[in-house]
Structure 1
Amino acid sequence: MRIAVTGSIATDHLMVFPGRIADQLLPDQLAHVSLSFLVDRLDVRRGGVAANIAFGLGVLGLRPMLVGAVGSDFAEYEVWLKNHGVDTTGVLVSDRRQTARFVCITDEDANQIAAFYTGAMAEADEIDLRDLASGGTRPDLVLVSPNDPAAMLRHTGDCRALGIPFAADPSQQLARLDGDQVRDLIAGAAWLFTNEYEAGLLQERTDRNRGEILASSGTWVTTLGEKGVRIDRAGQPTLTVPAIPDTEVADPTGGGDAFRAGFLAAIARRLPVESAAQLGCALASVALGTVGSQTYEADLFDLLDIVKRAYGPDAAQRLASMLKELS
């Protein structure tokens, strides 16, 4: 299965504050917040949701196509992605704007304050998936992840017009999309990804309950942090897969992206959703142990060992043939 990953491509500026952000907030002054945090560490890393997911798929031996908009400063980043198995054919290079920037402060409780500069991502709606499909690189599945809102809606429409199955991952952009846009984005999706908070926000934005959302889309995958992942399908009982226990978190940024990469890599190999969620949780646990979203290395046999310890030998056996093939 060939997967195209559409969405943001960015540079992450990750800072660590050796205290608690909440302690700096005065309840009676929240209407006039003016704060500056003296941070102990700055890491400049490659990021962006689509690039992170594509990197993870590449680490697992697939060759995903990355689709997004970047600036002329992308050259070194592009080499990095290509060296990790990512096809950048679908990347549009802007001659007007820089690549997007993500700036994030993380405190000792793993709480975060972040800002995102759109940059060249604002031109992502100029990308026509029909051009890619007609160029001999037609994908079997398109992931529509956080991006310029107009681009997300265009890519979804292109998938419907081309008859290409797609996965909807609105994530952070739920705050920017209105109800009609969200309903359009998820209608007919083969897969729907959210975290627990976004699941509630999705229902509020669409004015639909869980059953109504499942009736208009396919499998709904909700990450629950340290509680694991919940998988809902219309007419079937909810499946819950626990997270990897005792995961050491060096940096929470990119954990959800690594989960999606692991999940989709297993789906691409036609494995059951439970196995996909287990591989996703295993890859996320590896990613969480590093600072940055594309700094982890996933030894495929180490992943098998993580799965075996967390979910048992039968779960590892189901993934063994896939991981050995990818190695």
Structure 2
Amino acid sequence: MHLAIAGSVATDHLQVFTGKFSDSLVPDQLDKLAVSFLVEDLDIRRGGCAANISFALGSLGHRPTLVASVGTDFVEQGYQSWLEQAGVDCSLVHVSPRLHTALCTITTDDDHAQIVTFYPGAMSEARRIDVAAIHAERPIDVLLIGPDDPAGMQRHTQTAREVGIPFAADPSQQLAWADGDLIADLIDGAAYLFSNDYEAALIEKKTGWSEQEVQSRVGTRVVTRGKDGVSVYPGDGDVVEVAAIPGVDAVDPTGVGDSFRAGYLAGVATGLGPERSAQLGCAIAAGVVETTGTQEYTLERDAFIGRIRSAYGDAAASEIDAALDLP
């Protein structure tokens, strides 16, 4: 199955604040907010939602096509070769001759709360990418449309509808600023809708749709709930509840949602059902949260399948193992 992943590619500047952001916030003075946090660490890593998902899919034995806009530094600083070595097809990435690849600064406190700033840079040229041309060259079975240049997200979504490409809507970080009309346009008709539980509530609030109305406009709705696991709402069946992997030593939550999406789509691509796909997503997400950075983990087959067996049982481990192409 050909999976194409559209969205951001960025360099992540990861910082750690020893303390809690909430201790520095005065609720009735937020309109005069002026705070500074002294961080103790700086880690510069490769990131971006589309790149993270593509890297994870490559690690799971797939060869996804990265659909993104980057700067010349993407090649010059070795990011392209890094992804290609992981199994990602970067041949159709748009390269801006004048803008830097997007930059994301993420500061995490002791409660794993995060403050994020994002410079889009070359991502703003994603609207120039023609998904129809990519589809004509190599038919796309599922196109994930993740956080990206808003006009690019709209163009990709409209093209998918017009050409008939099944698409997975994953607006995530863009929900905070987007209005209800834009959100409705990005998710209506999606084969899959990914969100966490907060984002699911935000979608309902901004669109004015009830949970049932959102469900009626998409195929399968997948809602992640952090340590409380995942709920999968198929379009034509009962809700599937999957617990998170137990015993996780959380180090850095950055990119965990991206890796889950990759695991879920890898399950879909190999014919696994919603439960097994969600279990696969939870397993790779557990490995990511235990490392600093979004693409710094490695998957070793025996350990990975062993973790699935411990969490979900022999049947789950056997079925997922048979579906994957891990070394």
The residue aligned with 1:19 is: 19
Alignment equivalent of 2:119, drawn from 105, 117, 120? 117
C-alpha distance after superposition, 1:56-90 (max 9, x if no partner): 00001100000011111111100100011000122
Given residue 104 of structure 1, which amino acid in structure 2 is its aligned partner? I
The residue aligned with 2:170 is: 169
Q: Map 1:69-218 onto structure 2 (within 5 A).
A: 69-75=69-75, 76-135=78-137, 137-218=138-219
Q: Map 1:153-302 onto structure 2 (within 5 A).
A: 153-302=154-303
Q: Does 1:2 align with 2:2?
A: yes
C-alpha distance after superposition, 1:218-269 (max 9, x if no partner): 0000000000000112342211100001211110000001111111111100
Q: In the aligned structure 2, how far is the partner of 1:291 from the partner of 1:82? A: 21
Q: How many residues align?
A: 325
Given residue 130 of structure 1, which amino acid in structure 2 is its aligned partner? A
Given residue 140 of structure 2, which amino acid in structure 1 is its aligned partner? P
Q: In the aligned structure 2, how far is the partner of 1:217 from the partner of 1:74? A: 34
The residue aligned with 2:37 is: 37
The residue aligned with 1:308 is: 309
Q: In the aligned structure 1, how far is the partner of 2:191 from the partner of 2:136? A: 22
Q: In the aligned structure 1, how far is the partner of 2:274 from the partner of 2:238? A: 13
C-alpha distance after superposition, 1:167-219 (max 9, x if no partner): 00010111232222211211111100000000000111211111111111100
The residue aligned with 1:319 is: 320
**Identical-pair percentage:** 48
Q: In the aligned structure 2, how far is the partner of 1:319 from the partner of 1:131? A: 33
Q: In the aligned structure 1, how far is the partner of 2:109 from the partner of 2:28? A: 22
Deviant stretches of 4+, over 4 Å: none
CA contact (8 A) 2:240 2:274 kept: no
Aligned in 2, Cα 1:86/1:35: closer, same or farther, shift over 3 Å? Answer: same
Name the SS for the 1:18 alignment partner: coil
CA contact (8 A) 1:149 1:176 kept: no
Given residue 30 of structure 1, which amino acid in structure 2 is its aligned partner? L
How much has 1:134 moved relative to structure 2? Answer: 2.2
CA contact (8 A) 1:68 1:124 kept: yes
Q: In the aligned structure 2, how far is the partner of 1:235 from the partner of 1:208? A: 19
Q: In the aligned structure 1, how far is the partner of 2:48 from the partner of 2:180? A: 25
Name the SS for the 2:135 alignment partner: helix
Given residue 43 of structure 2, which amino acid in structure 1 is its aligned partner? D
CA contact (8 A) 1:211 1:234 kept: no
Q: In the aligned structure 2, how far is the partner of 1:29 from the partner of 1:181? A: 31
Name the SS for the 1:90 alignment partner: coil
Q: In the aligned structure 2, how far is the partner of 1:271 from the partner of 1:83? A: 26
Name the SS for the 1:66 alignment partner: strand
C-alpha distance after superposition, 1:9-33 (max 9, x if no partner): 0000000011111111223432222
Name the SS for the 2:11 alignment partner: strand
Q: In the aligned structure 2, how far is the partner of 1:123 from the partner of 1:13? A: 22
List gaps (5 residues or longer) in structure 1.
Answer: none
Name the SS for the 1:88 alignment partner: coil
CA contact (8 A) 1:62 1:326 kept: no
List gaps (5 residues or longer) in structure 2.
Answer: none
C-alpha distance after superposition, 1:120-143 (max 9, x if no partner): 1111011011121222x2211100
- TM-score under structure 1 length normalisation: 0.97
